[in-house]
Amino acid sequence: MGKFLFRGLEIHSNRMWQQGEVERSLKFMEEYEMNALIFHQNDLINQLVLPGKYFDNDVMWDRWPTKRQKVLYQREYINRITQLASEAGAEFYLEIKEIDTCEEIFEMIPGLRRENGVICPNHPFWEEYEKARLEELFSVCPGINGLIVSLGTRESKVSAAANRCTCPRCMRTPEITWYENMIRALYQSCQKYEKKLIVRDFAFSADQQNLVLEACARVSKDITAALKAYPHDFYPTFPINPQIGCSGLREEYIEFDVWGQFFGMSCFPVSIAEDIKQRMQYSLKKGACGVWFRTDWELMHDASVERTMNRVNLLAGAMLAADTEKGTDNIYREWTSQGLYSPLKTVSQKQEPEIPQNPEAWRYLKQFMEASWEAYRKTEYILGHQFLESDQPPYTIKKAFEIMTVIHGRDDWEKGASQRVEVTEENIEKIASEKEQAVRETKKLAEFIEEGHLGISSALHGEIIASIDLEVLFAELCKAVTLSMYGAVWAEKQRTPEAVEKLEQYINMLNEIAERIETTLCGTDYPYYIYARLQPERLRRYRDDVLAVKRRMEQDVSCDCNR
């Protein structure tokens, strides 16, 4: 039996500050023998320490009394959570993106920010600051078992990855030196208080990824590497992360997203259970000894995979972490026996799960959830390449291609991958076929779960069908965006009346879908994130960019004809 030693559940939204939600997660963890609770918030340390070395009590009273009191209350909350986690047999970890400092520090120590407003990440103060924060953190919250840290991301305030400082110190300091210095400061503080340090490989390029892992190895082999199961972000269409088994550190933990930032945001029922199983089996064979699963997302409140149809993905992760040979049929049976949640209700609506009465319901649900993923990957991805902005259409044609081939490009990990999505006649034909298939497959999903198949109430069945109808709209939206973005670039390349006329068809398609979305959603009462995914004004803003290309092409083609 393949079993991971570290089996974690990650909360990555404001649910972490709601004790009832945390207790619900701990109960789930106890039931499935998960042993690590993770709170993920970029500035989490700032919520718990000032630190007092730079902000003594008198200064805080005089300048920032509200922040002082907030920090004091929040650290007591965390101490209560660490106690509850311990009672449930789980360790407790903070997951952060460093260096995410408080704004007040720049007022206390003005030299940290240069004249042009840029922050110098290589200022020697930052190493001292990191040590001071961690030592205070572990003193006031001793129940914390360790830190999970991202250093290679551009999301933190101070980082080498996002460095725009051009001072002599930055010009002569190699990036790896910054990583090494920061990791050493973190590791020394963790070691002093006997806390585990886990460094994530979260980076936007293979080069940044390699720098972080190399810096860890230079500091200590005892640092644990955290690697996503995917090479860049949580894209189930991407290959397995090639760094797994190659970090050079003694321990590796593998991260999964079961919430679905890049596969439906749990607004739409989708199962990636089989994908999770394959990646976990591979990771275990490569020597990984830990896994954890993200259950929500920092930018979407009042939402959790624990109370959606996509709970099956969390169950898959939890059950496979204890036995990677577990059959997926067993996972679907377990999920069905616990009851279904509506895909159209938020966490705070406190719905009770409804247990299907048909003994064969799990078979229908398995077919449905797997078919949903097959339809969805053709909807949100272009031949396996991500082009949306976290389930929303891009604002411009340029941004769509930038997301696909630069920001979320596969070429770093799959040489020549972007050639499949270049604007060529052959590629356009394949891509158009994929998007047509996505719409057809989404429309057929309701056939897998006709009302008699499951043995659930008409109300719940109706909400599941409604979510499919909304997904049909989303599939058609993605089809229109894809055809128009390729059609626009093709028109600029071909400069023919035929290509411009085709662009007019795509613009009409975008207009028609925007109107249908408005009509469909008018008078409805869905979670706010449904409206965020299906946003007609955002679609029209993108349409305006396509329209601008058409008008420019009409002028150019007319000029060419006049010559």
Distances (CA, A) of 428 to 420, 425, 485, 501: 10, 5, 10, 16
CA torsion 427-429-431-432 (nearest 10°) is 160
DSSP state of 340: B
pLDDT at 194: 97
Alpha-carbon dihedral sign for residues 320, 5, 37, 148: negative
pLDDT at 204: 61
Question: What CATH code is assigned to 6-328?
Answer: 3.20.20.80
* Beta bridge partner(s), residue 224: 198, 251
**H helix or E strand, kind and range, residue 380:** helix 361-380
Q: Parallel, antiparallel, or unpaired for β 91-97 and 146-150? A: parallel
Q: Fill in the amino acid letter for 398.
A: K
Domain positions in the chain are 6-328, 367-562
Question: What is the number of alpha carbons within 13 Å of residue 40 lying toward its C-beta?
Answer: 24
What digits encode the pLDDT tens for the residues 422-445? 999 999 999 999 999 999 999 999
Q: Which of 168, 152, 170 is nearest to 227 (CA)?
A: 152
Asked if residue 265 lies in contact with residue 529, where contact means CB atoms within 8 angstroms, the answer is yes
pLDDT at 55: 86
pLDDT at 245: 95
Q: Which of 456, 260, 471, 256 is nearest to 342 (CA)?
A: 456
pLDDT at 207: 64
DSSP state of 394: -
- CA 316 to chain centroid, in Å, comes to 18
DSSP state of 473: H
Token pair listed for 242: 């090639």
What digits encode the pLDDT tens for the residues 461-484? 999 999 999 999 999 999 999 999
Q: Fill in the amino acid letter for 360.
A: E
Burial of 555 (0-12, 13-18, 19+ CB in 10 A): exposed
Distances (CA, A) of 231 to 79, 104, 198: 35, 36, 18
What's the Rg (C-alpha) of the chain? 25
- One-letter-per-residue 3-state SS of 409-464: CCCCCCCCHHHHHCCCHHHHHHHHHHHHHHHHHHHHHHHHHCHHHHCCCHHHHHHH
Cβ-based neighbours of 350, under 8 Å, separated by 6 or more: none
pLDDT at 414: 87
Nearest-angstrom CA–CA distance, 474 and 469: 9
Q: What is the mean pLDDT of each run of 10 residues along the chain (563 residues)?
A: 94 97 98 98 94 86 88 96 98 95 86 85 92 96 97 82 88 93 96 97 68 92 95 90 91 97 92 97 98 96 95 98 97 98 94 96 98 97 94 93 89 89 97 98 97 94 97 97 97 92 96 97 96 95 96 78 52
Q: Which of 385, 414, 379 is nearest to 402 (CA)?
A: 385
Distances (CA, A) of 463 to 191, 344, 349, 456: 51, 7, 14, 11
Asked if residue 401 lies in contact with residue 485, where contact means CB atoms within 8 angstroms, the answer is yes
The DSSP line for 198-253 is: EEE---SSHHHHHHHHHHHHHH-TTSEEEEESSSSSS-TTSPP-TTTT-S-SSEEE
pLDDT at 160: 85
pLDDT at 309: 96
The 3-state DSSP class for residue 36 equals strand
pLDDT at 112: 87
pLDDT at 57: 84
The 3-state DSSP class for residue 379 equals helix
Question: What is the number of alpha carbons within 13 Å of residue 119 lying toward its C-beta?
Answer: 21
Burial of 17 (0-12, 13-18, 19+ CB in 10 A): middle
pLDDT at 115: 79
Nearest-angstrom CA–CA distance, 31 and 388: 36
Nearest-angstrom CA–CA distance, 291 and 463: 33
